[in-house]
Amino acid sequence: MKQLIKHITLSLAGLSLLAACNKKLDITPEGAPTTGNFWQTETDAIAGANAMYSQFDDENFYGRGYWWFINASDDMVTGRVKAEGDNIKNFNSNFIGGSYTEGQWKLRYIVIKRANDVILHVPSINMDEKLKNRILGEAYFFSGLMYFELAYTYGDARAGVPIVKRDSLTGDQPIPRAANVNLVYEYIEKELLKAASLLPYFDEYTSDLYGRPHKTAAYAFLSKMFLYKKDYANAEKYADSVILSGKHKLLDNFADVFTIANNWTSEYIWSVYSNSQGPSGWGSILPGVMLENKGWGKYNGWGYYMPTKELYDSYEAGDKRREATILKPGDAFTFYGEARTYASTNSLSGYQFRKYMEPFSYAGGAHLSPNGDHPTTDLNLPLIRYAEVLLIKAEAELMQGKNADKEINMIRHRAGLTDVTNADMTELKKQRRSELAGEWANHHFDLVRWGDAQAAYAKPLHGFSGAEIWPARNFNPAIHNVWPVPRSEVTSSNGVVKQNGGWE
């Protein structure tokens, strides 16, 4: 398995590299063997743990492939014609079996398998106890996180996803899906609670360990999981575990969150990060994917996932986040060290996401992968950050009939907005959209879990000029609230793994 991890990018989901003189999480895993004389020494434990991270460098994990699902929202459109991606956005089952999303399931189960190996074998190794606990905490964290991503993507009341239990490993035999998604959520709860009990806080790490799981990251995903489960009391409880830890706070300036200098500041909870500087690139390709196609002749941007006029117009007057999030024609920005005025020659909407543009501002592409076919940067791409935890708590409070003004106004203050009183779910939804647009927070699944997707997608989408750029879509909640199981998983299991109803 060395070829899979040779240029390991480390865990999380975003971008990042950090200059060669400031390398973080210097991982050189040796693979994930489970037989023979492995799992005998501390070195084996470290190598086995490091192997959990290898899949995160796959461009489809947190970069392009899964983002076609997020692209379904009304916040963005496919920036240029791409038939498979267009079918996904239109909930057309013709995309099933295609290359973009087919591997999402398998990639996550590879991580789960490696986490299970660590949890099964590391406890019996004679090694430093503090290191052992941290490694085991990492494994429980990744197990819980992978199941969470699988559960809300593919699971609902009709069926969850297969749970590979460590006390009854079945080798290569296919495992049926759990009877419902709540059974998976219950399993995730146990995994992430165990992770939180074993992991240190982030500020206990030395810089060479940045990018590894930590205690409040486990609590943050527990909180979000309970939000999806609609267990609002526990969603609030574990959001408070993050908030009351005193380890996090909002940065004063919203735009600063998305800068290389602030990769590891108080708002960081979990991101895609890589320190790999080999020819294959550095981490998530999402910033490059969102960049103007061909990067105005400077860099190989791919021109996907462009903001809509609906997103731009959704911001409240005076909201500082709008201009920090979206580039529109005529806006000034810096690209490759040069002042430019934004104009696109290919964006279907005429807009571009600005959030991830900072690495492209430096002369000579100093913070960019030299591999133009893998357009990555050294910016941490957030998977969950402190602002989202505050909004999770606010939503959980509102759903319990409580007042959430404190958390909502914290978010509004940074955006340059005045206080609101007795905020309701309409305000909460607006703040989630404005704060987290273009992020892994996943506006599509926000709309799904709020029951708003059908109405939102029944409206066409527009570009900067006001012209319609995407027609209304037919979203059927009975089918489209979950995505289809990859065809390869249904086929290779001989039907043991069932397809989601309506996607057959």
Cα separation of 145 and 223, whole Å? 12
Q: Residue 248 falls within a domain, yes or no?
A: yes
Tell me, what's the pLDDT at 11?
A: 33
* Confidence class for position 30, pLDDT limits 50, 70, 90: very low
Quick one: how far is CA 87 from the chain centroid? Answer: 22
Mean pLDDT within 53-80: 92
Instruction: State the pLDDT at residue 23.
Output: 33
Instruction: Tell me if 199 is assigned to some domain.
Output: yes
Q: How far apart are CA 152 and CA 263, in angstroms?
A: 27
- Is 243's pLDDT higher than 60? yes
Q: What CATH number corresponds to the domain at position 181?
A: 1.25.40.390
Q: Is residue 291 part of a domain?
A: no
Rounded distance between C-alpha atoms, residue 381 and residue 222, angstroms: 20
pLDDT at 35: 54
Mean pLDDT value across residues 363-377: 88
Give the pLDDT confidence score for residue 63 in this predicted structure.
86
pLDDT above 70 covers what percent of the chain?
90
Is 306 domain-assigned? Answer: no
Q: pLDDT digits over 193-205, tens only?
A: 999 999 999 999 9
At 190-234, the pLDDT tens digits run: 999 999 999 999 999 999 999 999 999 999 999 999 999 999 999
This prediction has a pTM of 0.93
How many domains are there within the chain? 1
Estimate the crossing angle of helix 405-414 against helix 386-399, to 10 degrees. 150
Q: pLDDT tens, 115-174?
A: 999 999 999 999 999 999 999 999 999 999 999 999 999 999 999 999 998 876 556 789
Q: pLDDT tens-digit profile of 77-118?
A: 998 888 999 999 999 999 999 998 999 999 999 999 999 999
Mean pLDDT is highest, among 61-70, 274-283, 361-370, 398-407, for: 398-407
501 domain-assigned: no
Q: Is residue 347 part of a domain?
A: no
How far is 456 from 450, CA to CA, in rounded Å?
Answer: 11
Domain range for residue 155?
Answer: 2-281+381-492
The whole-angstrom separation of Cα 21 and Cα 378 is 13
Q: Is the pLDDT of residue 330 over 90?
A: yes
Separation between Cα atoms, residue 504 and residue 341, nearest integer Å: 47
| 268 falls within a domain | yes
Within 344-394, strands assigned E span 352-353, 381-385
CB atoms within 10 A of CB 298: 15
Q: Is residue 126 a part of any domain in this protein?
A: yes
Residue 169 pLDDT: 59
Instruction: Report how far residue 33's alpha carbon sits from residue 7's, in angstroms, rounded to the nearest whole number.
Output: 18
